Structures are given as structure tokens and as C-alpha cells.
Amino acid sequence: MLKLYYSAGACSLISHIVLEESGAHYQAQAISFAAGDQFADWFLAINPKARVPALVTDDGILTENPAIANYIAQTHPESDLLPEHDLLLANQILAFNVFMATSVHIAFRQISRPGDYADGDDAASALAKKVPELANEYFRVVEGQLADGREWVHGDAFSLSDPYLFVYANYLGMGDRGDWSLFPNLAAHHERMLGRPAVERVFADEGLSASVTEWFQ
């Protein structure tokens, strides 16, 4: 049995959606950052990085969304979330997800966790002012990829990249991290994701609304 440790509304939502889309049998346990659960000895034994997601498997423990998502897809090939026989597409999916993880996520952390990058209020303010510029640049790349009318990130077939894009599009919609109005194709993708039964089930499990601005209140 797989067990996912997540925090409601955090980036672990990606792995949670992938699990639900895959049809895997799993358990999900929330940890509270506000309560400091990530620093508890029992959780540090699972993930010494004190972050979510963490996935406990029969083979061992995995952390980091790209790795967790790939593992789920590879162990549940019937889900077709990662093509088995198209190496180029499989690695294009990985490349997209790594781009989201190392560019978009890092940019957004400059607002959510400025102390990881610099000290003091002036530095935090300077970091926050840079984020919309970076986010707009990164999401223009994605918008261009979606501009040919494709339904999902890599074409007609849903893949691991779609939950990844969806979660960071949610954060973009918070209003302080870029200009949502610049990305109509992204908005259309977002609406398609909201209509997927797996996403609806995960939102119910995590106690989330369709409005990301309500997640952290």
C-alpha cells in the first residue's frame, strides 16, 4: 500500500492528483505546517528535508514531485500517464515537470518563503516584486505550447504534466505572482482540470475549494 504525506493546498497536490488519476490503492495523511508537523521526529524519519510530498512505498521512500509522479506512473502503466514505448515523449514530460519544479516553483517560493533566499524586509520586498516578471516569462512558454488548440500539455493525451501545470496555475491565480489575463489557453486547461473527477475527489479530500485564494485562509 502506498502512503502519501501531504499538506493541504501545497505542491504535494500534484502527487495526490497523480495517485488518484492512476487508480492506485493508497492512503493519504495530511501534515500541518502551521503546527510544525514537518519538524516532528516521526516525519523527519520519513523525509529529513522536512517537506512534502513524501511517498512511502513497499520499495522504500520517495520525495520530490517529479520522482513520485514518475514512480506512480511506472508502477501503474495501465493509467497511461507516462508512455512506455515513446522515450522522447516520456522525457518531454519529465523535462516539462522539471521546468515547473526548478523555475516556476522556485520563483513562487520567493514570495512564500523569501527567508530561504535573503534576510530582511527590504530583501523580501525586492524578491516579491521580481516574481510576476519571472512568472509571466515562464507561463508565456506554456501558453505558446497550448496555442495550437491541444487539450492537454503534450497533445490529446492526459499525462503527468497536466496535474503539474494545474497546481502552479492555481498559484498564478492568487494575483501577486503574474498576470492571469495573459494566458487564455492556460485558463482553458485549468477549467478542464477542474472538471476531472480525480481532481474533484482530491479537492474534497484536502478540503480545498476551486478558489486558491481560500486555501490558506
**What integer pLDDT is reported at residue 217 of this predicted model?**
40
What burial class does residue 62 get, using C-beta atoms within 10 Å of its C-beta: 0-12 exposed, 13-18 middle, 19+ buried? buried
**What integer pLDDT is reported at residue 61 of this predicted model?**
98
**What integer pLDDT is reported at residue 211 of this predicted model?**
65
CB neighbours of residue 19 within 10 Å: 27
Q: Which of 48, 79, 110 is the last residue of a domain?
A: 79
DSSP code, position 96: H
C-alpha cell at 168: 502552479
> 97 and 200 in one domain?
yes
Q: Which of 79, 111, 126 is the last residue of a domain?
A: 79
Q: pLDDT for 22-47, tens place per residue?
A: 999 999 999 999 999 999 999 999 99
DSSP code, position 118: -
Q: pLDDT for 141-180, tens place per residue?
A: 999 999 999 999 999 999 999 999 999 999 998 888 899 9
Share of the chain above pLDDT 70, in %: 97
- Residue 29 · residue 4 · CB < 8 Å: yes
C-alpha cell at 133: 516578471
Q: Is the dihedral of CA 73, 75, 76, 77 positive or negative?
A: positive
pLDDT at 208 > cutoff 70: yes
Query: Cell match 516578471: residue?
Result: 133
**What integer pLDDT is reported at residue 118 of this predicted model?**
85
How far from the centroid of its chain's Cα atoms is residue 43's Cα? 21
**For range 182-186, the mean pLDDT:** 97
* Number of folded domains that form the chain: 2
